[in-house]
Amino acid sequence: MLFALAPTLSFANADNQFEFSHSKQGTVCSSNPDIWQLGGELQVDAPISLNGKVITRGGQKKASNNVDLFAGQESSTEQHYMTSSIGCIQSDDPMSLVGAVASLYEVQHTTLSSSDIPPPVREPDLPKAPEIVKDQFETKTQFDQRVEKLRIERQQQIAAIQLKYRQQVEARNAKIRVLQEGADSRKGDLSVQKTQLVAKAFRDVMGKPVVTTKSYDAEKQQMHLSFKASNQNYQRDIILNVPLEQARDVFSNIDKLDLALTYSYDESQLELVNIKGKYDDAMFSGNVAESNYQPEALSVVLNNGPSSASIPGLEMQNPNLIDAFEVDSRLSATDNTASDELKQLLNGFVPVESNSSNWFFNLSIEDYANSDQVAFARSSGEVMSDVATKVLGVPERHVYELIDRDATSGAIKDKLRLMLDNVDEGDTVYFYYSGHGIPAIPDNDPYILPQDKIPDYITDDEFFKLDNLYKTLSSSKAGKIVVMVDSCFSGATDGVSVIKGVAASRLAPKKVSIDPERMVVITAGRDKEYSNMYQEKGHRLFSYYLMKSMIEGNKDVNTLYQDVYDKVKSASFEMGDLKRQHPTITGNQTMSL
């Protein structure tokens, strides 16, 4: 007997009852193994041993088209089978076996076969990056122009490759998303499906009911019967109400009686709730109460393991080709003679007194897993933590620093919530972010990008939506919240687009709302501007002047902003028209740091 246990398994009933009868029976023990026709590899952590009996699984090639075989063409499908039928496993404790088999069926119901998962799209090879060396007879301006020309030519070379790769990856990711949703849906409805998993396991373990007669009570018109499971040493006595005029015939031909037993399952026990018997066209009811049939303990452990997101091969693929030359060419365009003046300034700075009511959250990401790097974000972030302790008076234990690989989605959520849970009424919270900002398509809602996130799928987690992030900060007990964001949310950093193969027009992100009384937000630039690096100083441009101004003693927020605005505007002007950068401020500008 063949039966399918593919992930698309569905059941007829959705309540907590099921029937066990000749028409609703399970696999009856035979010498032939049961075939699991899954159409691919059996990706199931099947219990290899059940009640001391071993279940093995293997595969065999089986011809699927005889015409092809005669023509000399190989045509076969992989079929996976158990070398022992579940119905052939004998157990001294059939109910424990039912529970174990139900757990097995649950895993098969929720797990995907690897054959369902489309293979990853191979990442194409990019053209070899040119070597850039400044000639001694070449001015800096000439060298910069040559580098920019090479960069633009390379972008044009890669554009067609990127477009094709994006189309292939997005098609695969669409299939992955459907598979994820299906697996999560099956996982989510297990509470509804649990009774039907138990029903299938009960039927397959027990086989079918075999009825024998015991006696007939003519006064009560009750027939005392015994039913036994065909596959197990499982026997129970029941009572069937049979009228006197039909009793002799039924008693003499009991093998013609179609007995149907209805069970209910309520998480921990199995109980007989109804008995029916059909003989020719006559229907007889059973007497459950007088049958003295006691509820039986039955435990089924459902798999509460990883969700579909952790199934091997089921991860979304990054459609962005990362070309290190994009950033490297810009770094090569200037002599790398950066000396960190800020550290020297801090070394000569007399630290302010530590204030236990101050808190600092530092999120700085230079090295992204799925996007271009943000040059000098790490060095700016590291110095910013020193500025927080020495200039802002934040105790070291109140500094929550997540830099590069530490700044994963999960870590950001956990650490930010942990910090805010410890903030008391009236405390001051400083929040600093240096990394990619994305105006998420289609609505251009601005998001920050964690180190491990694929830019295209940032909207899958609205925690990182800038509006929600500000709301999270505002939900704390803090009396003052100072937010410093070295990101412009134009979809590009240092002139490099974060989402590749998509029209690179500078998108204007939506406006976000903040608490106008308790919060002030200073950002690196306007909606459609880039956030620039400042290679000569070894920092991000905005962060450099922000920290320098704080070290120089500008504690009034408005004074601080005006100083940073003037210097960033002036420095970015010297970098070229496309790199113009104008910091912005919103919120309560009357605050002091």
CB atoms within 10 A of CB 316: 19
Q: Where are the domains of the chain?
A: 17-114+194-199, 341-348+356-575
Kind and range of the H or E element at 533? strand 533-534
Predicted confidence at residue 526, as pLDDT, reads: 86
Collapsed DSSP state (helix, strand, coil) of residue 164: helix
CB atoms within 10 A of CB 382: 15
Collapsed DSSP state (helix, strand, coil) of residue 231: coil
Predicted confidence at residue 496, as pLDDT, reads: 60
- Phi, psi at residue 134, to the nearest 5°? -75, 130
Q: Minimal CA–CA distance to 372: which of 225, 533, 249?
A: 533
Continuous H helices in 227-332: 244-252, 288-291, 324-332
Q: Minimal CA–CA distance to 18: which of 299, 298, 295, 263?
A: 263
Predicted confidence at residue 521, as pLDDT, reads: 95
CB atoms within 10 A of CB 505: 10
Sequence letter at residue 32: N
Express the helix, strand and coil content of the chain in percent, nearest 5 each: 35, 20, 40
Cα(201)–Cα(535) distance, integer angstroms:
67
CATH of 341-348+356-575 given 3.40.50.620, 3.40.350.10, 3.40.50.1460, 3.10.20.340:
3.40.50.1460
Instruction: Classify each residue of 161-172 as buried b or exposed e, where b means 16 or more C-beta atoms within 10 Å of its C-beta.
Output: ebeebbeebeeb
Collapsed DSSP state (helix, strand, coil) of residue 314: coil
Residue 181, judged by CB atoms within 10 A of its CB (0-12, 13-18, 19+), counts as: exposed
Cα(471)–Cα(512) distance, integer angstroms:
10
- Per residue of the chain (593 residues), give pLDDT as tens: 223 333 333 333 447 889 988 878 775 554 433 333 332 333 333 333 444 444 444 444 443 333 344 444 444 444 333 444 455 566 778 888 888 778 777 777 776 666 778 888 998 888 888 888 888 898 878 887 888 788 888 888 888 888 899 899 999 999 988 888 887 777 766 766 788 888 888 888 888 889 999 999 999 999 999 989 888 888 889 999 999 999 999 999 999 999 999 998 887 888 888 999 999 999 999 988 777 767 788 877 665 544 444 555 678 888 888 776 666 665 654 444 455 789 889 988 999 999 999 999 999 999 999 888 898 999 999 999 999 999 999 999 999 999 999 999 999 999 999 999 999 999 999 999 999 988 876 677 889 999 999 988 888 899 999 999 999 999 999 999 999 999 877 666 655 666 554 444 444 556 677 888 999 999 999 877 888 999 889 899 999 999 999 999 999 999 999 999 999 999 998 888 778 899 999 999 999 99
pLDDT digits (tens, 9 = 90+) for 525-558: 987 788 899 988 989 999 999 999 999 999 999 9
Cα(474)–Cα(281) distance, integer angstroms:
73
Predicted confidence at residue 432, as pLDDT, reads: 98
Is this structure's pTM higher than 0.75?
A: no
Peptide bond into 442 cis (omega under 30): yes
Which tokens sit at 263? 């069970």
Q: Minimal CA–CA distance to 288: which of 242, 238, 247, 254?
A: 238
Continuous H helices in 311-442: 324-332, 341-347, 377-390, 409-422
Residues 6+ apart with CB under 8 A from 429: 359, 360, 361, 419, 420, 423, 473, 476, 478, 480, 481, 482
Residues 6+ apart with CB under 8 A from 72: none
Residue 399: half-sphere exposure toward Cβ, Cα within 13 Å: 19
- Phi, psi at residue 359, to the nearest 5°? -135, 145
Predicted confidence at residue 198, as pLDDT, reads: 87
Which tokens sit at 592? 């002091």
CB atoms within 10 A of CB 460: 12
